[in-house]
A and B are shown apart, each in its own frame.
Chain A
């Protein structure tokens, strides 16, 4: 029985929005499937790993019968991707099998009953809700997400702290060696609240955020958080844990302060990094009145040296860092000029945007 007829992109685009979270191997086989549902003209797609769930709808009304089924997310996605753009696709369902036809191609897929598909049910009461342009949240996340820990045993670091406080929202990420902080204003006055968004949720959300003025609405639902953007809704559990107090590690008395042009600094570090030790990634910075030198040495005793002219007339300092931590912040801040502030060789350095309290990057040195 024919159940759906649509152009390839009307199916592929919403499908791709939800399949990013589908795990390849799961103890529950049905979780490698995507739930496809048609009600009236609307076709919706839903995927979940039981921690995070995304559902979205096709942008336009589509012809066909009402139906609900689940089938392999990966196979459906791979098939649609491989079909030429603008091709008309039909779906037929018979005896628990799904047949996809496109031009002279034909695919017969297994399905599992839609009623067996597990859902995350959203909590009802929202503690706080606010909206902001997608572009703004996207830029905010971009400034901090690279500092999240990856599979750290301190599980609460494998995510992003989202704090609301009056009209301020703040995002903080740290892996225990460096910390990124970004804040923004929203129109709604919000209660004091904080949640840790899981790393996977943050990465998925970032992919879905458009560089546009269209709004995203965020609802804090206790143990869950919901993001609504266009036809897409993400429901995610939050990390149950205590995020470290970031205020404690913001250095306040770093006195060796100067401004630096981001692009030349980044390029110099990228060149020096070629000869940084593959394992430890150490870089030595030597700060002197008027100049900043960058030195890298690898295990074969090869050396790279760069020198930048800077407007600085304070004391000298030699300090080591993991060069990746410096490259990360410089790559992810789309600005011309940054401010650096150092204390001594054993204390954290602070990277900020001149005259802007809404961004901070704190990085601990490496003893080299």
Chain B
């Protein structure tokens, strides 16, 4: 049976909540993030700030360099959670199959739902209208037969827009889709695909499963399916996030430990920004992942209650010592506590 999946993504969510509560901020570049003098990171910024080149996960200091008049306000998770809960309440009027990805993003499976004559397009329009009227912020939506395409589609007419990919449109839509738009294909993989002459999913679809697996390992299987617009992952309402991590594949391998250590701070900044977007969940451990030049990989972890550079540096040293050869990929992440509600001791120093 063809499914009807809606991916809803609130536009610059934290900044939108701030602008709703402080209308004077609507007309100026605004970001939610940490203080620039305390190695703060931008969590979200409004579209005016984006015109200046301000981006999520950028250091606040860097953001101010690009946009000196940028107003950076500290986040207020309590208000964001409240707005998020309101939005989720709206979703519940249409389906119980809701998979939240973060406070501002969720997949909805509305297959077989009776509302609005069963039209997912009309449901998405009504959900977005209600979010605007009841919560006071805007959202974009993608409507498609699976999660992969719904997510690509929600990004298409952002902000405050939506895109429908009907089952009969899938083949044409996917064929023209640049491979860089595939979720999980980052700059390095994009470059590798492009160097193989693969620019669009149509190019990708001409490759056999065997050839893709030879080039990309297990991820080749997934590429093979995505190139055809296929994705059978269900919308899973009980999915509990167990970890949050970021990683980077380097254009040239990092030759030694010193170079690896130098790459830690930007990775940690990105991780912190991801954690803020995930609603600052309670952390129970830290993980460092290394992939070496020979493609072997190793992970090192330790229990911890927060993200700390010194601890991650120690883990990185331990992991590096296992192989002591050039490193092509570094990742840092946190393991999350089982319940989101565990008590958490706040740190005295931001950057120890």
Contact = CB atoms under 8 A, between A and B. Distances in A.
Interface of A: 153-154, 157, 174, 176-179, 244, 248-249, 277, 280, 282, 320, 322, 346, 348, 362, 364-368
B63 to A, nearest CB: 22
B342 A280 contact: yes
B342 A244 contact: no
Contacts of A174: 348
B343 A366 contact: yes
B348 A178 contact: yes
Given A153-B310, A154-B310, A280 B348 contact: no
B339 to A, nearest CB: 12
Contacts of A362: 348
B347 interface: yes
B345 A154 contact: no
A157 B342 CA distance: 26
B343 A367 contact: yes
Interface string B317-352: 000000000000000000000000011111111001
A348 B348 CA distance: 8
26 contacts: A153-B310, A153-B314, A154-B311, A154-B352, A176-B349, A177-B346, A177-B347, A178-B348, A244-B349, A244-B352, A248-B349, A249-B348, A249-B349, A280-B342, A280-B343, A282-B343, A320-B343, A346-B346, A362-B348, A364-B345, A364-B347, A364-B348, A365-B346, A366-B343, A366-B345, A367-B346
A112 B346 CA distance: 51
Contacts of A153: 310-311, 314
A348 B349 CA distance: 11
Contacts of B348: 174, 176-179, 249, 348, 362, 364
A280 to B, nearest CB: 4
Contacts of B349: 176, 244, 248-249
Contacts of A364: 345-348
Nearest to A362: B348
What is the interface of chain B mostly: helix, strand, loop, or mixed?
Answer: loop
Nearest to A363: B348
Nearest to A347: B346
Contacts of B308: 154
Given A154-B310, A366-B343, A367-B346, 14 more contacts: A154-B311, A154-B352, A157-B352, A174-B348, A177-B347, A177-B348, A178-B348, A244-B349, A249-B349, A280-B342, A280-B343, A322-B345, A366-B345, A366-B346
Contacts of B343: 277, 280, 282, 320, 366-368
A328 to B, nearest CB: 14
A368 B314 CA distance: 29
A320 B311 CA distance: 26
Contacts of A179: 348
Contacts of B342: 280
B297 to A, nearest CB: 23
A20 to B, nearest CB: 29
A359 B347 CA distance: 21
Interface string B6-48: 0000000000000000000000000000000000000000000
A309 B344 CA distance: 29
Contacts of B344: 366-367
Contacts of A280: 342-343
A179 B352 CA distance: 14
Contacts of A249: 348-349
Contacts of A277: 343
For the complex of A and B, 10 pairs with smallest distance between CB atoms: A280-B343, A364-B346, A282-B343, A368-B343, A367-B344, A366-B345, A154-B310, A364-B348, A249-B348, A244-B349
A346 to B, nearest CB: 7
B263 to A, nearest CB: 20
Nearest to B346: A364
A177 B314 contact: no
B210 to A, nearest CB: 46
Given A153-B310, A153-B311, A154-B310, A176 B352 contact: yes
Interface centre among B310, B311, B343, B344, by most chain A C-beta atoms within 10 angstroms, is B343
Contacts of A322: 345
Nearest to A154: B310
A89 B345 CA distance: 55
Interface string B299-310: 000000000101
Nearest to B313: A153
Contacts of A367: 343-344, 346
Contacts of A154: 308, 310-311, 352
A270 to B, nearest CB: 20
Nearest to B342: A280
B304 to A, nearest CB: 9
Contacts of A178: 348
A154 B352 CA distance: 8
Nearest to B38: A248
Contacts of A346: 346
A128 to B, nearest CB: 27
A368 B344 CA distance: 7
A364 B352 CA distance: 15
A175 to B, nearest CB: 9
Q: Which of B342, B343, B344, B345 gathers most chain A CB within 10 Å?
A: B345
A155 to B, nearest CB: 9
B229 to A, nearest CB: 43
Most buried by A among B342, B347, B349: B349
A174 B347 CA distance: 11
A178 B348 CA distance: 7
B68 to A, nearest CB: 25
Nearest to A277: B343
The listed residue with most A CB atoms (<10 A of its CB), out of B310, B314, B342, B346, is B346
Interface in B171-225: none
Contacts of B352: 154, 157, 176, 244
